[in-house]
């Protein structure tokens, strides 16, 4: 609109100036200007006596001098998360709540629910994202990640942003996705208002620190944009915002002690596997879950390994050591349930080199020895480190606090709450392998297999997963691909569909080593096939014949029918091994689309990408 004296409150000379300036402004500049003007008006309005103000100010603000904070930008913030197992989502929501508490209008959204072409309209952008695979974005971040790194990404013209990265220092590409977003937003002209924080598996404190730093940066942004009295009000806003939001009764940070009701080995005699069917009571916890969610368990280290470590280091089991929020604990207890002792990470080795002054360890962790360090870390634990670098005698009090906190493990929930009120069932395969001349035991799976007797208790929490959900329409066909323990959530899916009387067709692809000993939940699938809850089932037992047969081979054998189901709108679910199975199943789906649908390689890849975006191809792989 062209401004002139009759359609605006401006004089002719003012209107001419504005008509010259306004068309040259970018979206970011317009947003900034509107915030700036709002700030000026805000200060003027604040000068009106309190009785004339339409709404009472919050208590903390009333204590401050008369003028409220006035931001330069509209008080809006967008929080986008990319999350596979729910941690980033939870933190994004926590930031959202804090921003709302500070008076911001907030949008919190999964990256795949956000329209990238609206990015230019965003006032402030906060990203909370984890890294998965081998340094890859989580599935629900893929589209936005690609968009932002493409030529279509807009210039951000000083848009304020900050990134929280979640990851695990035991992975080579630690927090890679968060690092990529942070770098790219700056390249596009965004203005970083708080430094990126890279969180390890014990992310709570670091994430809270980042949220505080974002709120503080916004408060000073407001203070800078406002008059002096408003700066005091801004500080008051930050104080209000710093109040911790109410926590649900039981959570990752406050796990529920669930009683073990049942713990059975699902494998037959002679199997190479040991897979536990675990039933836990949630009675009195108030915890609920949906099929597709996971349960987190806080494990304890194997007593034999704790003893071996204390012996190797020359420590005393009852000496007191710091154990974070638990205060000082006897060493044996701290090593059992507080610290990680089965895994070595680069930061740990670097700190150990500093602490002990070991020349050998310093050399291994020095720049230029990255590959050597990676090779050393693989398959080794703390006992190897102590023995291999002659660290016996290092004081427990200074060495033990260098260790990471023992992280919880996640397990796909294998039951429906409707079928088993107040219970949760899991399918856990014991991890045991040989490495560097010693038998190694997976911490949590061994804890469950060897020590979770019925009647004992496990500290647990529910990890919701919106990215692995039955279709809302009960008549939608579903294809479930879950070899090994990957079948766990599909037991939950079918229990749920049986309870709700869902009419949609269902097809399960299952596989393991041997039909006779490794057919997990065989009787249940057969009953569901008979009752029509499960429409089809194809199994692949890899070692029952000379050549290996896996689920992807069964899928290719049934290519025609599978393609017909896809065209009917079936939702495909893949759960289980990420390193090979998920990749091979993806390749099989591409082959089926090319072979049966006549699609080119690119078109098949595009078809699957679209399915992913439409949530018709969901994966929960680990
Ligand atoms: C969302 C999600 C759902 C999951 N659902 C299930 C489920 O339903 N059932 C289930 O059993 N697991 C499931 N897992 C995996 C589970 O969380 C644990 O990772 C698994 O039980 C191993 O944990 P652990 O503590 O026993 O072993 P850890 O002490 O964590 O040791 C495992 C590590 O040992 C190493 N390792 C294992 N085998 C070998 C080998 N042969 N050679 C060399 N190194 C090896 C690998 O580095 C591996 O990461 C799921 C994971 C996720 C993220
Ligand atoms: C299968 C798998 C692969 C992972 N790969 C990486 C990785 O390459 N780099 C990294 O820093 N963290 C990696 N992680 C750790 C996750 O980023 C970390 O657990 C994070 O807290 C998950 O957050 P989310 O629940 O929001 O997805 C991986 C985790 C899993 C389960």
Distance between CA atoms of residues 115 and 201, nearest Å: 30
Residue 66 clears pLDDT 80, i.e. is over it: no
* Residue at token pair 């009953």: 527
**Residue to mutate (ligand 2; options 80, 112, 130, 374; most atoms within 8 A of CB):** 130
**Residue to mutate (ligand 2; options 80, 82, 132, 577; most atoms within 8 A of CB):** 132
pLDDT digits over 208-221, tens only? 999 999 999 999 88
Shortest-distance ligand to the CA of residue 132: 2
What's residue 613's pLDDT? 86
What's residue 16's pLDDT? 74
**Residue to mutate (ligand 1; options 410, 414, 451; most atoms within 8 A of CB):** 410
CB within 6 Å of ligand 2 — which residues? Answer: 83-88, 130-135, 138, 166-168, 171, 173-176, 201, 203, 578, 622
pLDDT digits over 555-569, tens only? 999 999 999 999 999
SS3 labels along 509-550: EEEECCHHHHCCCHHHHHHHHHHCCCCEEEEEECCCCCCCCC
pLDDT digits over 383-394, tens only? 999 999 999 999
Question: Between 329 and 33, where is the model more confident?
Answer: 329
The region, left, alpha or beta by phi > 0 then psi within -120 to 50, assigned to residue 242 is alpha
Shortest-distance ligand to the CA of residue 409: 1
> Which H or E run contains 556?
helix 551-557
What's residue 525's pLDDT? 98
Q: For atom 32 of ligand 1, which residue has the closest CA?
A: 442
Distance between CA atoms of residues 310 and 1, nearest Å: 77
The region, left, alpha or beta by phi > 0 then psi within -120 to 50, assigned to residue 542 is alpha
pLDDT digits over 505-548, tens only? 999 999 999 999 999 999 999 999 999 999 999 999 999 999 99
Burial of 3 (0-12, 13-18, 19+ CB in 10 A): middle
Share of the chain above pLDDT 70, in %: 87
Q: What integer is the mean pLDDT of 372-378?
A: 96
Distance between CA atoms of residues 21 and 15, nearest Å: 10
Q: Assign 243 a pLDDT band (cuts: 50, 70, 90).
A: low
pLDDT digits over 123-140, tens only? 999 999 999 988 999 989
Q: For atom 10 of ligand 1, which residue has the closest CA?
A: 428
Q: Which ligand 1 atom sits closest to the C-alpha of 447?
A: 26
What's residue 23's pLDDT? 75
Helices (H), strands (E): how many in the chain? 23, 21
CB within 6 Å of ligand 1 — which residues? Answer: 85, 294, 299, 342, 379, 409-412, 427-429, 431, 433, 435, 442-446, 485, 488, 620, 622
Q: Assign 36 a pLDDT band (cuts: 50, 70, 90).
A: low
Q: Which ligand 1 atom sits closest to the C-alpha of 429?
A: 11
What's residue 69's pLDDT? 44
Shortest-distance ligand to the CA of residue 110: 2
Three-state secondary-structure class, residue 596: helix
Task: Report how far ligand 1's centroid is from the alpha carbon of 66 (Å).
Answer: 58
Task: Report how far ligand 1's centroid is from the alpha carbon of 409 (Å).
Answer: 8
């Amino acid at each position: 609109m062209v401004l002139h004296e009759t359609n605006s409150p401006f004089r002719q000379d003012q209107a001419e100036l504005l008509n010259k300036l306004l068309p040259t402004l970018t979206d970011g500049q317009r947003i900034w200007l509107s915030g700036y003007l709002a700030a000026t008006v805000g200060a003027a309005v604040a000068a009106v006596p309190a009785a004339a103000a339409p709404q009472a100010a919050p208590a903390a603000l009333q204590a401050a001098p008369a003028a409220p904070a006035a931001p330069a930008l509209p008080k809006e913030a967008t929080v986008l998360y990319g999350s596979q197992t729910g941690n980033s989502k939870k933190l994004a929501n926590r930031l959202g709540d804090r921003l709302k508490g500070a008076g911001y209008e907030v949008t919190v959204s999964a990256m795949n629910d956000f329209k990238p072409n609206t990015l230019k309209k965003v006032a402030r952008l906060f990203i909370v994202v984890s890294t998965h695979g081998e340094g890859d974005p989580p599935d629900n971040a893929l589209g936005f990640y690609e968009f932002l790194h493409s030529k279509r990404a807009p210039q951000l013209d000083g848009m304020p942003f900050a990134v929280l990265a979640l990851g695990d220092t035991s992975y080579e590409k630690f927090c890679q996705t968060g690092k990529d977003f942070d770098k790219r937003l700056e390249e596009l002209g965004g203005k970083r208002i708080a430094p990126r924080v890279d969180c390890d598996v014990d992310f709570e404190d670091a994430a809270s620190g980042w949220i505080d730093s974002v709120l503080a940066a916004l408060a000073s942004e407001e203070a800078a944009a406002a008059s002096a009295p408003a700066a005091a009000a801004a500080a008051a806003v930050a104080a209000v915002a710093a109040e911790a939001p109410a926590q649900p009764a039981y959570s990752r940070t406050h796990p529920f002690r669930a009683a073990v009701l049942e713990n059975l080995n699902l494998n037959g005699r002679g199997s190479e596997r040991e897979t536990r069917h675990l039933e836990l009571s949630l009675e009195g916890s108030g915890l609920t879950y949906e099929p597709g969610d996971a349960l987190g368990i806080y494990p304890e280290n194997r007593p034999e390994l704790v003893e071996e470590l204390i012996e190797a280091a020359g420590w005393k089991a009852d000496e007191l050591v710091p154990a974070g929020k638990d205060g000082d604990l006897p060493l044996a207890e701290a090593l059992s349930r507080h610290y990680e002792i089965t895994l070595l990470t680069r930061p740990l080795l670097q700190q150990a080199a500093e602490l002990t002054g070991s020349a050998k360890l310093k050399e291994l962790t020095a720049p230029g020895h990255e590959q050597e360090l990676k090779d050393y870390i693989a398959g080794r634990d703390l006992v190897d480190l102590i023995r291999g670098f002659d660290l016996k005698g290092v004081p427990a009090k200074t060495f033990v606090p260098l260790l990471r906190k023992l992280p919880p493990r996640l397990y796909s929930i294998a039951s429906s709450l409707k079928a088993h009120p107040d219970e949760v069932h899991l399918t856990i395969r014991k991890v045991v392998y040989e490495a560097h001349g010693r038998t190694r035991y997976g911490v949590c799976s061994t804890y469950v297999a060897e020590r979770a007797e019925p009647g004992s208790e496990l500290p647990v929490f529910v990890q919701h997963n919106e990215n692995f959900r039955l279709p809302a329409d009960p008549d939608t066909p579903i294809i479930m691909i879950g070899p090994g323990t990957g079948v766990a959530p599909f037991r939950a899916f079918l229990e749920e569909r049986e309870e709700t009387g869902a009419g949609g067709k269902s097809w399960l692809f299952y596989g393991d080593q041997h039909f006779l000993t490794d057919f997990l939940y065989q009787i249940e699938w057969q009953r569901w096939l008979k009752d029509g809850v499960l429409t089809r089932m194809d199994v692949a037992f890899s070692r029952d014949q000379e050549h290996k047969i896996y689920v992807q081979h069964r899928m290719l054998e049934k290519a025609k029918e599978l393609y017909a189901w896809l065209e009917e709108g079936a939702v495909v679910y893949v759960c289980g091994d990420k390193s090979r199975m998920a990749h091979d199943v993806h390749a099989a789906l591409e082959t089926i689309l090319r072979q049966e649908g006549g699609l080119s390689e690119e078109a098949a890849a595009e078809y699957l990408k679209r399915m992913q975006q439409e949530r018709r191809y969901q994966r929960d792989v680990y």
